[in-house]
Amino acid sequence: MRFNKLFKIRNLIAVLAIGCIAAGTPVSAQDSTAAAPTEISAGSSTAASATDAADMDAFASELVKVSESATSDDSSTLAAADEVVDNSTLYKTAAYYTILFILVCIFLAIIGKILRVYELTREIQGKRGALNWNSIQGGIFVAFLILGLYGTYWTYDTWGYVVTGESASVHGDRINNMMLVTVAITTLVFVITQILLFWFIFRYRGQETRKAYYYPHNNAIERLWTIVPAFVLTILVVFGFFTWRSITNPPEADQKAALSVEVTGEQFKWNVRYAGADNQLGVRNYKLTTPTNSLGIDYSDKKSWDDRLGPEIVLPVNKPVRVTINSKDVLHSFYMPDFRVQMNAVPGMPTYFQFTPKLTTEEMREKKGNPAFDYVLLCAKICGSGHYNMQYKVKVVSEKEYKEWIAQQPLFFNDDMKKEMQQKVASSAEAATIDNNIALNN
């Protein structure tokens, strides 16, 4: 009966193997063209056997003409194919990897069944079991320990730059240091605890000559693994709190000296407003929002008259920038990863973030060795179906270039806004006149 089950499993694994091969068969870009030369070759050999030398010459000349015509007609198609397919093998499908995973699981199950049948056979023969499963499982745990520690090292070696990559802002260096300290401490604890965990499993694996020792409680150990982690976590939390506070709460004098920029998120774009020469943004009121005045800027506040529209974010290097962050609809998140800047954009509640860019776009391109690199503003909150589209180019330039750029940007308070404001003033005056006449008549 057991052997019948093994045969059934063998047949199943054979069927899955065939499916795996079919799902993962590489698709060659040359398959469709490889048959053509064979057909021509077969045709030419048939013609050679059916004609004499003179007919062969005529046939060959006609074949050359046809070949040249086909080559000229299909040259653009072949060029496009060369651009699309860089190599002859395309990626395997997801079904291939799914079936491959199932095959590995079935293979391991078959190995287990075979070993079980072997043990049962020895028991029938009156012999002791040949395999010590406790030792085997202990050895597997040690192998997993070594594999896991190597995987941890490989991950840090391959992806460590995500944390240690150079920041483009001054405060970003403090963020990097905080992350490195946190990762170093947690990695040390991780390595020590994993070595102890897996080694204890191997060292104290089950044996016939050993009995488990009942050890229900130990106050000293309880204190040790409660107080030490609490102390370490307290240090990390306090360190992080003061680091974050120093970044998000600069002195009031520094706030006033910083360049004032407002960024408003909406589904699915960013709106950027630069303060004018007074470096003060005009107030906003959501009740004033119209198709013309999409941000609801109150133009009765003269500070708003010189505010400028930013089609992209351009910032001067080595100058502090204070960003006022708003949202028109749902929760967004103002995120510029290269500057280590992230702050939620909350509807009805402005938030702020102040930072100082320290590397221009050109300098960062040179450091990264990527002439096409650009800083980018992203949304770090999934805010709807068009969330992926909330990308805004950020450029850091010299102060001279920034002044030249900002002088060319259009004002928010344009002619359409002025007409709308004049109409509101006129309608308000007319309404006041009517109210006065009604009051006099009464």
**Could you tell me which residues come within 8 angstroms of residue 198 by beta carbon, excluding any fewer than 6 positions away?**
141, 142, 144, 145
**Phi and psi, residue 70, nearest 5°:** -65, -35
Does the pLDDT value for residue 346 go beyond 60?
yes
Residue ranges per structural domain of the chain: 2-95, 255-413
Per the CB < 8 A criterion, the answer to whether 381 and 333 are in contact is: yes
Q: What is the pLDDT of residues 210-263, one digit of tens each?
A: 777 787 888 888 998 899 889 988 988 998 899 888 888 888 888 888 999 999
**Phi and psi, residue 114, nearest 5°:** -60, -45
Most confident listed range (47-56, 117-126, 179-188) = 179-188
Q: What is the pLDDT of residues 47-81, one digit of tens each?
A: 344 444 455 455 445 544 544 554 444 444 444 44
In angstroms, the CA 148 to CA 377 distance is 36
3-state SS class at 357:
strand
Which neighbouring-strand residues pair with 354?
A: 322
Q: Choose between 302 and 76: higher pLDDT.
A: 302
Q: How many CA atoms lie within 13 A of 406 on its CB side?
A: 26
DSSP states along 419-436: HHHHHHHHHHHHHHHHHH
3-state SS class at 288:
helix
Neighbours of 434 (CB within 10 A): 10
- C-alpha to C-alpha distances, 414 to 281, 284, 308, nearest whole angstrom: 16, 16, 10
Does the pLDDT value for residue 287 go beyond 70?
yes
Does the pLDDT value for residue 392 go beyond 80?
yes
pTM, two decimals, is: 0.62
Q: Choose between 408 and 20: higher pLDDT.
A: 408
Which neighbouring-strand residues pair with 309?
A: 273
Fold classification of 255-413 is Immunoglobulin-like (2.60.40)
171: exposed, middle or buried (Cβ count in 10 Å: 0-12, 13-18, 19+)? buried
Most confident listed range (35-39, 149-153, 414-418) = 149-153
Does the pLDDT value for residue 384 go beyond 60?
yes
DSSP states along 22-44: HHHPPPBTTHHHHHHHHHHHHHH
Q: Which residue has the tokens 């074949």?
A: 63
**Phi and psi, residue 210, nearest 5°:** -120, 140
Q: How many CA atoms lie within 13 A of 141 on its CB side?
A: 18
Comparing 84-98, 188-202, 252-266, 370-384, which segment has the lowest mean pLDDT? 84-98
User: What percentage of the chain exceeds 70 in pLDDT?
Assistant: 73
- Token duo for residue 66: 């046809």
In angstroms, the CA 103 to CA 20 distance is 9
C-alpha torsion angle, residues 274, 277, 283, 284 (rounded to 10):
-30
- Token duo for residue 288: 């004033």
